[in-house]
Structure 1
């Protein structure tokens, strides 16, 4: 067994061997003090409770299918009664926002690697004309809400180990996009080790453990451990609006959603969109034992519909990772870091072999461990699922080409803004193929909500060139 440089370090080394992970110290004798410090730091971050749960999942053989059924949802309003309920929810939500009891949380731990860049995804330029970054678009929406309701809105941004410094520097360089930096906080997503088929932890260097982001379920523990949940509560925040940074059409602090969520005293609530079809690779909401859950697309084969039929067809409420979360509820979930279930993804994980060489496998060779925020739904006594129109609220940026790419995100924004102009009685010229002749962009400084835009815009306006409204 390797020897530590002090008693504390020696106990840590002994623990690694007790947990059958002594192999991560195989290069200890070659390391200098700085490298040993890094390895010790990584070893201190290993949660063996998580590894134990992951091993149980990895070795379990579950043959019986779980029975699920479609959940109750608040549909996109179509009838007079539904429209009245939406108006009531909007009024209640607006009053709640005005009382300065709501905050915003953005999951922004990802990089733009799949987009061909090595920078935080939130820095990617997306707006049609001014090429504003995702971070700037979101910040301007928050600024608009602050000005509209004469309040300050706290904004918590969850970053990762790999993009924290770039993100913080980007905000500082841009003067926080006009927001008060004292109301903007950064927290770091947790990390879990990646393991091979036998549960052995991978090394990514001779002196570094392969640690992988813990998934968006780490929101709760990150809020708790960083002290940000206490900070929010000290500011009087009772509800947090959660979304992921790559959704350019996000309707931040939607009054209707807040009204429905607070009206039923929910711990956590969600927005959904209608699935495009059985083959769309999106998680779907369902009820299992009267509790709301999300069934991932890859897990549909493990469930069956209570009333018969293919779950891929009967479960149509797609999860789009937009939630309202009560701060007391978030604090309760965050207090127990093992409360949420684990999800294992069998992936190709680069690793250092016994000879100290970096191996980049072409096929899956190990498991990355994650937690998902929606697994907290089953712990919420009350929960609302509110359906929205995809074209109004959901256009994520994930791929370099094809679906959910810069091309589709641009097209979705143009269609979105054109809808605002058309509903205002302003014609937006289109080509024969249905695309628009000119680019359109409405700054959130001008209006973040359609109703405000329609009330402000000059109805005599003519669109005869690329048009930016601010």
Structure 2
């Protein structure tokens, strides 16, 4: 019996970009395989991939432009540094009050970027499921969602959580949240939306590649894919229905991020930001962090891989790093700004795509899997920080590195589970000692968000003179 042919509209779409070869194994597939390929291909923008490939193939090398921009970059002008004076502390207190009022109004939502796998940690699940609690083994998801629940309770509201997944993490993330009863947030207040993907194309021909006979080779469209995904999956509409005007954005790998931080929300509003960015002072010129800076009066982020060594090493009059402001990937967004970016994206004027030359396994004409030893394909992704130059106001707020920037990225060494657990222990022990408690040598006390969010919360619950002689979890 002859297999039914591919949908005519799919045939026409692929022919328009010279990608008809993606259907060459159609007759070998069963019904489920044909459905998988047709559904996936219908959701991919082959025309955009073709335009990006042509621009890469025929366009000038712009690496010199980035180097020239970096050479003239200056520290961000619209910046709030860590408090040093009494006036600074007064202004911070005012920002906290404004942020608390914004939270109390119910106008705040949180965006959690959770598309990454734990591959680099030797963990074959979504990174958010990685256990990082120093005593409890609590996961990243639980710590961050627990903060959000406690923050909402303190403000007398429920703060909705918008979780951006990737095709690789979407199903297991949804399953984990359901299994954990949505961490007490309520199923109706957790909105999942999966980021898009882009086809990977052959670097010599620009043609899309097959990962399997029933699967196009794709890659996630980057954290900048957030904007299109928010619109396409209905999350922006959900925010509007709930009256959410301001979004706190953070990534899943940083367990010490202060979720919906009132001080940051307040500073963002006080400065009239459309998008604001939290930064930390870089510890060395060669540190692998993007830098927030001003180029020709426009605030933007230059990735560390694009920052020439001589620009990274420049110092100011006091001998400190000139480009000191390291990007933490923590932002505040106005919903109206995200809506504008989404609208611009539909007209082709949204966040730009970046091109990466990568090794992409693929099928050859004989249907055999090829594992390249050298880069053979281009992948396309967007970066959310490219939104900064598009904002009318993009303030920068410094935070304390030890307190708030302890990501889990590597299996060992810096930015590893060990350093994150040590940071959580140091933070929690500091809160307890400030409350007058003592901790025996060798004992570890972990404080879950359900117990307290900060030093003041610990002081309200732990009597002075309390002693901990063994590992303890306060919850």
| Shared fold per TM-score greater than 0.5 | yes
Pairing partner for 1:359 from 349, 370, 387: 370
Q: TM-score if structure 1 supplies the norm length? A: 0.92
* Larger displacement relative to structure 2 (348-357 or 97-106): 348-357
**Cα distance change of structure 1 residues 192 and 136 upon mapping to structure 2, 3 Å threshold:** same
Distance 1:284 1:450 in 2: 30
Q: Which residue of 1 aligns with 2:96?
A: 90
Contact 2:431 2:455 in 1 (8 A): yes
Which runs of 5 or more residues in structure 2 are unaligned? none
1:171-182 paired onto structure 2 within 5 Å: 171-182=177-188
Q: Which residue of 1 aligns with 2:385?
A: 374
Pairing partner for 1:448 from 453, 463, 471: 453
How far apart are residue 30 of structure 1 and its match? 2.6
**Cα distance change of structure 1 residues 381 and 4 upon mapping to structure 2, 3 Å threshold:** farther
How far apart are residue 231 of structure 1 and its match? 1.0
Q: Which residue of 2 aligns with 1:36?
A: 34
How far apart are residue 31 of structure 1 and its match? 2.7
Pairing partner for 1:318 from 303, 312, 326: 326
Distance 2:9 2:387 in 1: 35
Distance 1:4 1:268 in 2: 50
Contact 2:121 2:409 in 1 (8 A): yes
Whether 1:408 aligns to 2:419 is yes
* Larger displacement relative to structure 2 (150-159 or 391-400): 391-400
Structure 1 SS opposite 2:467: coil
Which runs of 5 or more residues in structure 1 are unaligned? 431-436
Distance 1:402 1:358 in 2: 35
Whether 1:270 aligns to 2:265 is no
**Cα distance change of structure 1 residues 29 and 5 upon mapping to structure 2, 3 Å threshold:** closer
Aligned length: 457
Whether 1:235 aligns to 2:245 is no
How far apart are residue 39 of structure 1 and its match? 1.9
Distance 2:60 2:11 in 1: 30
* Larger displacement relative to structure 2 (50-59 or 171-180): 50-59
Distance 1:16 1:160 in 2: 24
Q: CA RMSD in A?
A: 2.2
Q: Which residue of 1 aligns with 2:159?
A: 153
Q: Which residue of 2 aligns with 1:331?
A: 339
Structure 1 SS opposite 2:308: helix
Q: TM-score if structure 2 supplies the norm length? A: 0.91
Whether 1:23 aligns to 2:26 is no
Distance 1:467 1:152 in 2: 29
How far apart are residue 365 of structure 1 and its match? 2.1
Distance 2:473 2:248 in 1: 28
Deviations 1:258-304 (A, max 9, x none): 00111122111110011110111111111122211110011113996
Distance 2:92 2:44 in 1: 47
Structure 1: 4+ residue segments shifted above 6 A: none
How far apart are residue 446 of structure 1 and its match? 1.2
